[in-house]
Amino acid sequence: MRRKIALAILMMTIPTLDAMAAWDITIESKTVEANETDVMVSIYGSWDREVSQLSVPIIVREITPGAFWTGSLPYDTGGNALNHPFQHNVSWQWNTIYPWALLIEEFRPDIPRQTCPTDGDVGYDGVSPDHFCINASATTSEVAAKQNLAFCTWSFDVAGVAGTFEFDTACFYCGVNSIYLIVSQIPPFDQGPLGTGDVTFHKGVITITACNCGVPGDVDGSGDMPTPLDVVFLVQKVYRSQDALYDYHGLGDCPFENGDVNGDGGTPTPLDVTFLVQKVYKDLDGLCVDRCHGDPGTGYCPGP
Ligand SMILES: [Ca+2]
Ligand SMILES: [Ca+2]
Ligand SMILES: [Ca+2]
């Protein structure tokens, strides 16, 4: 009987021990469209005891050539929880009323040096690879146990090439050569790979999908250059209110409505039929050739 009771207590204890092992750093993965802007990615942390220091060195690495982040890259350097003098497209989500990371709170770009391999990166420049490091450190206060806390978010634009790139962890330089997540008891100890090794890490993968707003004038979605059949589809839509046009909008966030072949915005009109007739029968191209971009609100359509 005593053994059964002991076994029962042990079984009740196992889930608790398992839950206490939840030390994790995870970077969000996302699927975005080609040339998408203001893509937001967060880093999540889980820890079971109060920690006073956190460092995550990150490499941004192209997997598919050309599929990468681009434009004005995020940074947040030289600051702490109250002061961010050099900040661009980075935000922190933990308690900002009673800030925790008073000593340092930064999202700092740099290139690897000292004890890290120093080949392959010449700058934080949108050319793979790029490196940055997330650092947060307390003076006396500590951040309490958390599970899946999205503590930092950064935003960026992506290139027009379909494929993938990733936010992985890698050596940054001598002081931040690995993930550190430090419990400040006496003496303090690190739960990261060079300490107890309890922290798991999951990299973030950004998948850029090709824009799919259709071939210009291919209103029935057959996937090839417009034909007389497309003209009939558009005539039925415009003059007979019989809408059998392909739903490109169901596949993505296309700026132009299908059938608005000249890209001047709104629903298709007789003018669009005229443009499509000229294209199909006379090879006069006035169609909106870039269906993925432009601003129909201003009548702007890239090309032809
Ligand atoms: Ca670079
Ligand atoms: Ca067609
Ligand atoms: Ca139109």
Mind listing the pLDDT tens digit for each residue in 99-115? 788 899 999 999 998 78
Q: What is the pLDDT of residues 24-74, one digit of tens each?
A: 999 999 999 888 899 999 999 999 888 899 999 999 999 999 999 999 999
Distance 271 CA to ligand 3 centre (A): 6
Query: Which among 202-206, 289-293, 294-298 has the top mean pLDDT?
Result: 202-206
Q: What is the 88 CA–ligand 2 centroid distance (Å)?
A: 45
Q: Using the mean position of ligand 1's atoms as its centre, give its distance from the Cα of residue 253 in Å.
A: 30
What does the pLDDT read at residue 79? 86
**pLDDT average, residue stretch 10-37:** 69
Residue pLDDT, tens place only, 195-235: 999 999 999 999 998 877 888 999 999 989 999 999 999 99
pLDDT of residue 250: 59
- pLDDT above 90: residue 3: no
Answer yes or no: is pLDDT of 11 > 70. Answer: no
Res 251: pLDDT = 55
Residue type, 290: D
Phi, psi angle pair for 48, to nearest 5°: -100, -5
Distance from the alpha carbon of residue 274 to the mean position of ligand 3, in angstroms: 10
13 CA distance to ligand 2 middle (Å): 64
Peptide bond into 129 cis (omega under 30): yes
Which among 23, 54, 11, 36 is positioned nearest to 255, based on CA atoms? Answer: 36
Percentage of residues in the chain having pLDDT higher than 90: 57
Ligand 2 centroid–CA 33 distance in Å is: 24
pLDDT given at position 201:
96
State the Cα–Cα distance between residues 9 and 7, nearest whole angstrom.
5
Phi first, then psi: what are they for 273, rounded to 5°? Answer: -60, -40
Average per-residue pLDDT for the chain? 87
Segment of 228-232, 245-249, 299-303 carrying the highest mean pLDDT: 228-232
Mean pLDDT is lowest, of 2-11, 108-117, 172-181, 292-301, for: 2-11
Q: Is the pLDDT of residue 20 over 60?
A: no
| Token pair of 232 as six digits | 């009939």
87-103 pLDDT, tens digit per residue, is: 999 999 887 666 788 89
pLDDT of 6 above 70 = no
- Which-ligand-closest: CA of 130? 1
**pLDDT of residue 304 exceeding 80:** no
Instruction: Assign 5 a pLDDT band (cuts: 50, 70, 90).
Output: very low
> Which ligand does the CA of 266 lie closest to?
3
Report which bound ligand comes closest to the CA of 238: 3
The pLDDT-based confidence of 249 (bands split at 50, 70, 90) is low
Ligand approaching nearest to the C-alpha of 112: 1
What ligand has the least distance to the C-alpha of 223? 2
Count CA within 13 A, CB hemisphere, residue 37. Answer: 3
Integer Cα distance of 36 and 30 in angstroms: 12
CA distance linking residue 25 with residue 48, whole number of Å: 13
For residue 180, report the distance from its CA to the centre of ligand 1, in Å.
24
